Structure 1
Amino acid sequence: MGTFFNPGNGSFTQDKNSEIYIDKTELLKFLNKKLGTNGKCIAVSHARRFGKSHAAGMIDAYYSLGSDSSKLFENTKIASDPDYEKYRNKYNVIHLDISSVWDYHKEDLIESIEERVCEDFQKIYGDLLNYRRDFYLLIQDIYSLTGIPFVIIIDEWDCVIRNSHDQALVHKYLQFLHSLFKSEESKSFLALGYITGILPIKKIKDESALNNFQEYTMLDSYPITEYYGFTEKEVKDLCKDYSMDFETVKAWYNGYLIDGEHMYNPNSVSQALERHKIDSYWRNTSAFDTINTFITMNYAGLKDDVMKMLTGGKVRINTNTFQNDFSIITSKDDALTALIHLGYLGYDADRKKSFIPNYEVATAFELALQTGSWKEIAESISKCDELLDETIDGNAERVAELIELAHETYTSILKYNDENVLSCVLTMAYFTAPAYYNVIREMPSGKGFADFVFLPRANAGNRPAMIIELKYNQSAETALKQIKEKRYQGALSGYQGKILLVGINYDSEKHHTCMIEEL
């Protein structure tokens, strides 16, 4: 058992011993069908924290000769597959994490990788190998010596592509990958190639190192979507086990619609359940900096599109222009596509539209807005909690003042003047409300549509339900009257708690008035 060559099953053992473990071993059934075929090279490009490394550890444990994982896979889904024993612990495995080498060996990356693996080779084969030969030829020699083919796993394969501007190094690195996955020798020694990264494979002129890989991305990962992240059913079952409100977990961590499957961020869901606390677990400086980098780019329509998504909308996007390179962004579509691959936007493939997937990501956007051209918007969002509190407390005059301030901020971006713009302003003004409420715009009820209904979730505490009606050039009193006459409160039929009726009006001079009543 080595560190890089024929590793043990420690990584997968640790995953299985974790408090929350979801069986994703049927991925191995999919991979078994790829062994030794033209489809044996697999590239999984997903956002961080979606289980790519966990899957790599499982692949180690299943294929590597470095351990006997029979006990570890007992009672897992793969164990019932007819071919389970045929492939278990039958392969030479090389597992590399490029980012861990890159951190310390930017100048001699390839040499350092080869040195580390060769140290493992030497422990097993001693003087049987000529270690002066090229690395891929050493692998071929081991295959010739043992007759056992290789499974090669590379985590963070795109680390060099994302971080290096040294084209000579990139070229050398791609040649190294070519020798492992596409050389004539690899056609005999390679049973399976599995690489993971954030970016899809970059098409580099005159480079063909990875064009034989089948790609599975945040845009399209069928049929292995369910193995990266938690499915909705899995989250429902976990919420039941942990006595957590599913609707609240859904609002905070759902939204990654991949191939029609609602996928949840497994890291955030696990932390929320284990701590029994709904919160943002994606709060790190790099997240804010990354979002800010892309949303502050000076491309026509980008700011409008970001505002539309912040107010709950979806925007049409052409993902095909993105060159799979964060350093080459030439349009707003490229900027938004980059955010999809990073996990900061969701993507509806059927409608070809991007959107902010959940409230946790929305809070990351909120913090990312605090610098540059978005600073004014961020200052307005910072007043959202006060607005919600003042609404709940029935302070109509202060509510009108705060909405007026928000309206002044957003109308420079939202260039139309009617009830619809006020609706968008209200969505931004109550930006933090989705932490506690399911906020429904134009909810059908009674004899028409309520403009906004705020439905408290289990984590809302004593916060009341609210129905908000908007008017332009009329009166707040008229808005309240409409709620009552059209029986909008029927939208909350069966709700036993406190309900507030909120009427808001603004006139052509952008003066706002508000009335609040308790039902």
Structure 2
Amino acid sequence: MMGIYLNSKTAYILYKGETQNPYFVDKSQMLEELFPLVSRGNSHICITRPRRFGKTVMANMIAAYFSKGCDANDIFQNLAVAQSPEYDKYRNKFSVIHISFNDIGEECISYKQYIEQIRECLVHDLKKEYPEAELYGKTDVAGILRYINAEEPTARFIFVLDEWDFIFHQDFVTERDKKAYLQFLRNLLKDRPYVLLAYMTGILPIAKYSSGSELNMFLEYTMAAEEQYSQYFGFTEEEVDILFQKYCMYTEGPQNLTREELKNWYDGYYSKFGRRLYNPRSVVTSLKNNNLGNYWTSSGPYDEIYYYIENNVDDVRDDLALMVSGVAVPAKIKEYAATSMNLQTRDEIFSAMVVYGFLSYENGKVSIPNKELMEKFTDMLQKEPSLGYVYRLAKESDRMLQATLEGDTETMTEILELVHDTETPLFHYNHETELMAVVNLAYLSARDSYRIEREDKAGKGYVDFIFYPETDRNADCIILELKVGFTPEEAINQIKEKQYALRFQGKIGEQSRYSGEILAVGISYNKETKKHSCKVEVLS
């Protein structure tokens, strides 16, 4: 018999639909890693990842494969797990309790309503499947399960619990409710002989919420701290290669995507040991739509960048300026400290942003992963006055681009002087990296019409910025070189001597793409006079 949570057919239906998606990626090999845990029994694992990283798809796969609620051979016989010698041994042989904790009732306004709905449905399922349990209690789920297991020792269960921490993000939940919820999970799962495997997913790690021993039976696997299971959440480089090949075969008419653009837009995350990962939902949506777009849909404050920094803008403002210019900044990331509210310190803020997927973390530094997220940061910088000079420079970026295209160096200089005419940030221009961050802010809106690449290999060396026209191939191209302690004329001479313009003129496949003029732009900063200077020259 099938129930709402016990041996439900829901996971089978949802996962089968997923496998019929033309851009489906087979990650069923993960099941083989779970076989020993099920065989051993009393196993507890929790995998935390940002939103949109495939947690629910994997939870549905696990429930569909193990549950004896229906025969899922029609799904799995064509997937990688079917090659396992233990494929038939574990397939659809177990009682699975599959709960999606984000499935909240329309009129749910209290924790009591929320948890009672879960309890009642689970109790109903158990008493329907095990009629003798009717003799035991009314709503004590753990008690009923213990009774069933005592009467029938072979009655053991696999628990698949998706988005376990969803309730912590709800406004109606109090601190007392959170403690009660942790106690509910502890009572249900800890040291229970009826538990074969408890597989749990969420966004924030358990350690953030469970400071005591409530859920210490779980082994936690986070993206930044544990390598195991990392290949099953997010798409690898090789998987995106295959998906792009499918896209080329399936797409009728113009193909609006290139493989390089997919990488620029959706790559940029890292596993513990440096495996590169793409945002899977965005990749699939982009391929389906034949469109490069921002698919980071917002469903609440946790999907808005400003939510994380509003309590301590001063501490992170300069780092944001650096990251938006493409520079990674050092940070001490402790995922257990990534609380979703009351973020105070710089490291707490960046920890939360890593956990939620706004920043990537590698080798002790955080950075903005890709163009999709860069757009989110750019939007914030242009609409939050509390960011001070960062906001003011970003707001002037339309005027900066127009002045550059017109060769109006007086206006360009005036805009850059905003930095020193208001408050002086940490940027003392000891390095060109700091000047680069300020200049990048001044050209922020240029991203709407240009693909801006930093330190791109061009001619005989590396140039600071190249602006490739995206929306209008007849627009002027821009090569921008920065200098601290030198003149803008020297910057332009470097552009000429290193032949950076060859990036537009002489590269196969690009020489015919751009028909506008090529502008050499030199921007310098004099440490003694503390003044900026600008020069624009059309290259012949």
Please tell me the TM-score bracket, short chain as reference. Answer: 0.7 to 0.9
Aligned AA (1:140): R
1:323 match? 337
Residue in structure 2 matching 1:150, options 136, 146, 157: 157
Cα 1:202–1:290, aligned 2, differ >3 Å: closer, same or farther?
A: farther
1:360 aligns with 2:366: no
In structure 1, what is the Cα distance between the partners aligned to 2:284 and 2:327?
Answer: 28
Q: Which moved more, 1:293-302 or 1:210-219?
A: 293-302
1:49 match? 52
In structure 1, what is the Cα distance between the partners aligned to 2:410 and 2:20?
Answer: 54
Residue in structure 2 matching 1:19, options 22, 40, 45: 22
Deviations 1:413-458 (A, max 9, x none): 2531477243222222333556753613274752x5433234678x
Q: Which moved more, 1:168-177 or 1:459-468?
A: 459-468
Residue 217 of structure 1: CA displacement? 1.3
> What does 1:211-250 align with in structure 2 at a 5 Å threshold?
211-243=216-248, 244-250=257-263
1:196 aligns with 2:206: no
Residue 303 of structure 1: CA displacement? 1.9
In structure 2, what is the Cα distance between the partners aligned to 1:310 and 1:170?
Answer: 37
Aligned AA (2:164): W
1:140 aligns with 2:146: yes
1:110 match? 115
1:401 match? 411
Cα 1:377–1:146, aligned 2, differ >3 Å: closer, same or farther?
A: same
1:101 match? 104
In structure 2, what is the Cα distance between the partners aligned to 1:300 and 1:38?
Answer: 50
1:345 match? 359
Cα pair 2:338 2:349 within 8 Å, conserved: no
CA RMSD of aligned residues (A): 3.0
* Residue ranges of structure 1 left out of the alignment (5+ in a row): none
Cα pair 1:346 1:357 within 8 Å, conserved: yes
Residue in structure 1 matching 2:300, options 279, 286, 299: 286
Cα pair 1:6 1:65 within 8 Å, conserved: yes
Cα pair 1:501 1:516 within 8 Å, conserved: yes
Residue 361 of structure 1: CA displacement? 0.8
Cα 1:204–1:46, aligned 2, differ >3 Å: closer, same or farther?
A: closer
Cα 1:33–1:454, aligned 2, differ >3 Å: closer, same or farther?
A: farther
In structure 2, what is the Cα distance between the partners aligned to 1:363 and 1:40?
Answer: 41
Cα pair 2:396 2:415 within 8 Å, conserved: no
State, as a whole percentage, how many aligned pairs show the same letter.
Answer: 30
Cα 1:77–1:53, aligned 2, differ >3 Å: closer, same or farther?
A: same
Q: Which moved more, 1:287-296 or 1:328-337?
A: 287-296
Cα pair 2:312 2:344 within 8 Å, conserved: no
Please give the secondary structure, in 1, of the residue aligned with 2:243. Answer: helix
Deviations 1:373-397 (A, max 9, x none): 1266345335546655765xx4221
Please give the secondary structure, in 2, of the residue aligned with 1:35. Answer: helix
Residue 88 of structure 1: CA displacement? 0.5
Q: State the aligned residue count.
A: 509
1:270 match? 284
Please give the secondary structure, in 2, of the residue aligned with 1:363. Answer: helix
Residue in structure 2 matching 1:467, options 476, 479, 498: 479
Residue in structure 1 matching 2:90, options 87, 91, 105: 87
Cα 1:229–1:419, aligned 2, differ >3 Å: closer, same or farther?
A: closer
Residue 26 of structure 1: CA displacement? 0.9
Aligned AA (2:411): E
> What does 1:408-447 align with in structure 2 at a 5 Å threshold?
408-409=418-419, 412-417=424-429, 420=432, 421-431=434-444, 436-437=450-451, 439-441=453-455, 443=457, 445-446=459-460
In structure 2, what is the Cα distance between the partners aligned to 1:262 and 1:460?
Answer: 32
Q: Which moved more, 1:53-62 or 1:376-385?
A: 376-385
Q: Which moved more, 1:339-348 or 1:324-333?
A: 324-333
Cα 1:152–1:461, aligned 2, differ >3 Å: closer, same or farther?
A: farther
1:496 aligns with 2:496: no
Query: TM-score if structure 1 supplies the norm length?
Result: 0.88
1:169 aligns with 2:170: no
Cα 1:36–1:382, aligned 2, differ >3 Å: closer, same or farther?
A: farther
Q: Which moved more, 1:366-375 or 1:21-30?
A: 366-375
Aligned AA (2:121): R
Cα pair 1:295 1:306 within 8 Å, conserved: no
Query: TM-score if structure 2 supplies the norm length?
Result: 0.85
Cα 1:223–1:462, aligned 2, differ >3 Å: closer, same or farther?
A: farther
Residue 52 of structure 1: CA displacement? 0.3
Residue in structure 1 matching 2:271, options 254, 258, 283: 258
Deviations 1:224-277 (A, max 9, x none): 111111111111222232243111111111111112111111111111111111
1:517 match? 538
Deviations 1:352-377 (A, max 9, x none): 11111111111112223323512663
Cα 1:517–1:241, aligned 2, differ >3 Å: closer, same or farther?
A: farther
In structure 1, what is the Cα distance between the partners aligned to 2:519 and 2:225?
Answer: 44
In structure 1, what is the Cα distance between the partners aligned to 2:211 and 2:347?
Answer: 26
In structure 1, what is the Cα distance between the partners aligned to 2:338 and 2:486?
Answer: 51
Aligned AA (1:191): L
Please give the secondary structure, in 2, of the residue aligned with 1:100. Answer: coil
In structure 2, what is the Cα distance between the partners aligned to 1:249 and 1:358?
Answer: 10
> What does 1:59-78 align with in structure 2 at a 5 Å threshold?
59-78=62-81
> What does 1:369-408 align with in structure 2 at a 5 Å threshold?
369=381, 370-374=383-387, 377-378=390-391, 380-384=393-397, 387-388=400-401, 394-397=405-408, 401-402=411-412, 404-408=414-418
Cα pair 1:130 1:138 within 8 Å, conserved: no
Cα pair 2:126 2:133 within 8 Å, conserved: no
